[in-house]
Amino acid sequence: MSLPTAWITGAGGLIGHQLIQSAPQFAPGWRIRPITRDVVDLCNFAAVEGLFREETPRLIIHCAAMSRVGDCESNPGLAELTNVRATAHLSCLGADIPFVFFSSDLVFDGAKGGYLETDAVNPLNVYADTKVRAEVEVLRNPLHTVVRTSLNAGVSPTGNRSFTEDMRRAWERGQTLSLFTDEFRNPIHVKMTARAVWALVLKNQPGLYHLAGREEMSRWEIGQLLAQRWSPMEARMLATSLRDYQGPRRSPDTSVRSAKLQAILDFPLLGLREWLAANPHEPV
């Protein structure tokens, strides 16, 4: 008997790639179909619809996005098309099947931290705004799921997608990184994220979930952690404060609680520090 097909969009990116790599272990009941830009441009709605009718996937995990905040600020029209309209289009095509959309902790303004799924959103930049609007489109359908994740560490196929890859490359070039001591997130390793998403898919409990490491860390603390891991590389860091920062608005504390998702998982959502300690030889 042939297996049902699962589309993974953004298959060449950090999270999509990891979902594909981990599928044989965590989702052996699915035939995985990686959807990269080479397969189809998700903004070409006619082409996407044609492929959908041809392949009739029974699950879509939608990781494709304009995922860099700066790119979205400089091209808000393309951010809207990619992050909102292409998501809404895929969600409509997949109206009768499970659909998982990746959103971000940056939907919050970061004024209070410790956010739950029931807290009000207040996006401060174009990227976050497109995520909020895409969430609304996706959650119109009670079969569909939104997963808000935080900073994902790990290795991407192109070597330039994750924040850890960005930091490492900057240090390798001899750059000094200014890291905020008072901006907080819940970093998570991408392998943890992929495992949790597959578990959520197999549980078939749609809705809105936070998916982040259980430890809240400042940018500075994250830098310290990675510098230990990458020793003896010279990690140049400058501790800075948001109070002295001048630039586009930033969310100071977008720490999120993932208790809703944790309650349906049978393994802990490790924070980045714990994950690295448990996996001392894994690349990050």
Asked if residue 168 binds ligand NAP (CB under 6 A), the reply is: no
**Member of 6, 14, 23, 194 binding ligand NAP (CB under 6 A):** 14
Judged by DSSP in three states, 39 sits in coil
Structure tokens at 139: 């959650």
**Member of 41, 49, 221, 274 binding ligand NAP (CB under 6 A):** 41
Under 8 Å between Cβ of 9 and 60? yes
Distance between CA 33 and CA 51 in Å, rounded?
Answer: 12
**Member of 15, 128, 179, 235 binding ligand NAP (CB under 6 A):** 15
Q: Which stretch binds ligand NAP (CB under 6 A): 138-146, 149-157, 214-222, 251-259?
A: 149-157
**Member of 30, 34, 57, 67 binding ligand NAP (CB under 6 A):** 67
Asked if residue 258 binds ligand NAP (CB under 6 A), the reply is: no
Q: Which is nearer to ligand NAP, 119 or 231 (CB)?
A: 119
Asked if residue 82 binds ligand NAP (CB under 6 A), the reply is: yes
Q: Which is nearer to ligand NAP, 9 or 235 (CB)?
A: 9
Strand partners, 188: 152
Distance between CA 159 and CA 177 in Å, rounded?
Answer: 19
Strand order in the sheet with 207-211: 31-35, 5-9, 59-62, 99-104, 144-149, 207-211
Total residues interacting with ligand NAP, rule: CB under 6 A: 23
Q: What is the DSSP string of 180-219?
A: ESS-EE--EEHHHHHHHHHHHHHHT--EEEEE--SS-EEH
User: CA nearest 193: which of 230, 224, 167, 156?
Assistant: 156
Strands 59-62 and 184-185: unpaired
Q: Which stretch binds ligand NAP (CB under 6 A): 144-152, 202-210, 231-239, 260-268?
A: 144-152
**Member of 102, 108, 115, 184 binding ligand NAP (CB under 6 A):** 102
Q: What is the DSSP string of 47-109?
A: HHHHHHHHH--SEEEE--S---HHHHHH-HHHHIIIIIIHHHHHHHHTTTS-EEEEEEGGGS-
Asked if residue 117 binds ligand NAP (CB under 6 A), the reply is: no
Asked if residue 12 binds ligand NAP (CB under 6 A), the reply is: yes
* Residue ranges in 215-254 that form contacts with ligand NAP under rule CB under 6 A: none
Asked if residue 149 binds ligand NAP (CB under 6 A), the reply is: yes
**Where along the sequence are the contacts to ligand NAP (CB under 6 A)?**
10, 12-16, 37, 41-43, 63-65, 67, 82, 102, 104, 149, 151-152, 156, 161, 163
